[in-house]
């Protein structure tokens, strides 16, 4: 029996099993097996055979945004309208057959936008080159799920299932759980909160399923069984997502208003960009990416405001040094910072490599 058949068999058994207190341990074991088989499907243990053909697109710019969606929802049109890249556009499905990158220049930042081929149901199991598509999406800092506003919400649910099956968790944060393997000493589980969605026995059952008999676990939030399995596997990607509904010029105002007020959702019309501007979408992308701009300043000169260094929120002076040159942090003596992160704003503060910068700070670096 192949891996795909085993996955289907477990999914059917989970669908037949009633969810109650008596079956939660059995369901936990089935979920652990399902996650293990899906990991095998994505990353086969055997290295024999010819190499597969993937989408080898070099990561460029300050952030990467991936366009995911079913065929003919307007992904290529969006890429062509927001970047200077021409992606083939046609009225038939599967026009795009490989990953096509484009660059959005916004507020001094260069955001790489990837137009990925349309995926079909069962993509996580390899249908329609779906495995390459969703694996490329794992490298993105933000995912845009393109949807057709004229179709039902079933398209959104199916896409979420496919992305979830390959280990992409949309709009979720990593569970606050610390897991450490040991060679001896058995299993130690410590919780700082009361667990209401799982329990000690279920956790130990899952650990036994993975043949883990010696480990330390610290749980700092009320997690579910699925969250704990994600921690054990350790390869899950937690990525922010925006649901972009295209073709809203073909629906009623009431439907458009309902979609627009849904969390993490943007409504657009690629064919009527003069009326329904795409600027709002780019602004939302900028907000979700959490980028900060830092300007550099030479001694005795004015700050260079034309070429900012774009970093992720929470970046430090060390990241700024690496953004200028790799060897700068090794020869770092001290730095001066003007802006929001300075204690003495509007005056400068002398800072170390560990100092966190904020948006539109001005940094002057002094070396040994």
pLDDT tens digits, residue range 285-319? Answer: 999 999 999 999 988 889 888 888 999 888 999 99
Bigger pLDDT: 117 or 127? 117
What are the backbone angles phi and psi of residue 309, rounded to the nearest 5°? -95, 120
Residue 56's pLDDT is 59
How far does CA 16 lie from the centroid of its chain? 32
Whether 139 and 267 share a structural domain: yes
Looking at the fold, whether 270 and 254 belong to one and the same domain comes out as yes
Examine residue 57 and state whether it is found in any structural domain, yes or no.
Answer: no
pLDDT grade for 52, boundaries at 50, 70 and 90: very low
Q: Is 128 exposed, middle or buried (0-12, 13-18, 19+ CB in 10 A)?
A: middle
Does any domain span residue 158?
yes
Q: For a pLDDT cut of 90, what percent of the chain falls above it? A: 32
Distance between CA atoms of residues 248 and 252, nearest Å: 8
Per-residue confidence band for 17, with pLDDT thresholds at 50, 70 and 90: confident
Is the preceding peptide bond at 346 cis, omega within 30 degrees of 0? Answer: yes
Query: Quick check: 214 and 182 in contact, CB under 8 A?
Result: yes
**Domain count across the chain:** 3
In a domain, 215, yes or no: yes
pLDDT of residue 13: 86
- Scored b (16 or more CB within 10 A) or e, 200-217 reads eebbbbbbebeebeebeb
Coil, strand or helix at 178: strand
The answer on 158 and 261 residing in a single domain is yes
Tokens at residue 154, please? 């079933």
Give the range of the structural domain holding residue 315, as residue numbers without chain letter.
291-367
Is the pLDDT at 28 greater than 90, yes or no? no
What are the Cα distances from residue 277, in Å, to 76, 266, 283, 286, 302? 17, 11, 11, 16, 36
The 10 Å Cβ neighbour count of residue 348 is 18
What's the CA gap between 74 and 296, in Å, rounded?
Answer: 39
Mean per-residue pLDDT over the chain, rounded: 84
Looking at the predicted structure, is the pLDDT value of residue 126 above 90?
Answer: no
Give the pLDDT confidence of 332-351 residue by residue, as tens digits. 999 999 999 999 988 999 99
Please give the Cα distance from 130 to 122 (Å, whole number). Answer: 8
Q: How confident is the model at residue 92 (pLDDT cuts 50, 70, 90)?
A: very low
Residue-wise pLDDT for 260-287, tens only, equals 899 999 998 887 765 456 888 999 999 9
What are the CA-CA distances from residue 73 to residues 91, 137, 353 (Å)?
Answer: 10, 17, 46
Kindly state the average pLDDT of the residues 133-146. 86
Is residue 347 in some structural domain?
A: yes
CA dist., res. 232 & res. 180, Å (int): 10
Based on the domain organization, do 81 and 152 belong to the same domain? yes
Same domain flag for 362 and 300: yes
Statement to judge: residues 143 and 246 lie in one domain: yes
pLDDT of 114 higher than 60: yes
The alpha-helical segments, DSSP class H, found in 125-235 are 130-137, 154-165, 200-209, 225-233
Considering the chain, what percentage of its residues have pLDDT values greater than 70?
Answer: 88
Three-state DSSP state, 364: strand
Q: Binning pLDDT at 50, 70 and 90, where does residue 175 land?
A: very high
Q: Are residues 151 and 242 in the same domain?
A: yes
Q: Could you tell me the maximum CA-CA distance found in the chain, to the nearest angstrom?
A: 73
Do 248 and 297 belong together in one domain?
no
Q: Evaluate whether residue 55 is within a structural domain.
A: no
* Least confident residue range of 78-82, 92-96, 287-291: 92-96
Residue 47 within any structural domain of the chain: no
């Amino acid at each position: 029996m192949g891996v795909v058949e085993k996955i289907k068999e477990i999914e059917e058994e989970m669908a037949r099993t009633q969810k109650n207190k008596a079956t939660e341990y059995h369901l936990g074991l089935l979920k652990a097996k399902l996650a293990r088989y899906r990991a095998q499907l994505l990353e086969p243990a055997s290295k024999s055979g010819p190499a597969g053909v993937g989408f080898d697109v070099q990561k460029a710019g300050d952030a990467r945004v991936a366009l995911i969606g079913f065929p003919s929802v307007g992904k290529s049109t969006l890429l062509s309208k927001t970047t200077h890249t021409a992606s083939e556009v046609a009225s038939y499905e599967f026009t795009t057959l490989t990953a096509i990158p484009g660059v959005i220049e916004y507020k001094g930042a260069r955001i790489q936008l990837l137009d990925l081929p349309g995926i079909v149901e069962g993509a996580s199991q390899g249908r329609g080159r779906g495995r390459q598509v969703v694996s490329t999406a794992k490298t993105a800092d933000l995912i845009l799920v393109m949807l057709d506003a004229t179709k039902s919400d079933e398209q959104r649910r199916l896409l979420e299932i496919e992305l979830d099956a390959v280990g992409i968790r949309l709009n979720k944060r990593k569970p606050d759980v610390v897991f450490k393997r040991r060679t001896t000493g058995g299993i130690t589980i410590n919780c700082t909160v009361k667990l209401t969605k799982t329990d000690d026995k279920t956790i130990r059952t899952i650990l036994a399923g993975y043949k883990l008999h010696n480990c330390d676990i610290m749980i700092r939030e009320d997690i579910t069984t699925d969250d704990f399995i994600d921690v054990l596997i350790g390869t899950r990607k937690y990525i922010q997502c925006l649901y972009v509904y295209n073709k809203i010029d073909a629906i009623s105002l009431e439907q458009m208003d309902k979609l627009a007020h849904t969390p993490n959702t943007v409504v657009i019309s690629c064919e009527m960009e003069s009326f329904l501007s795409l600027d709002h979408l780019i602004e939302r992308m900028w907000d979700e990416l959490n980028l900060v701009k830092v300007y550099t300043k030479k001694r005795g000169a004015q700050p260079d405001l034309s070429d900012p260094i774009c970093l992720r929120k929470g970046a430090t002076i060390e990241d700024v040094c690496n953004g200028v040159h790799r060897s700068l942090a090794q020869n770092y003596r001290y730095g001066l910072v003007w802006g929001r992160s300075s204690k003495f704003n509007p005056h400068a503060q002398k800072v170390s490599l560990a100092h966190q910068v904020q948006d539109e700070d001005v940094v002057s670096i002094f070396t040994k």
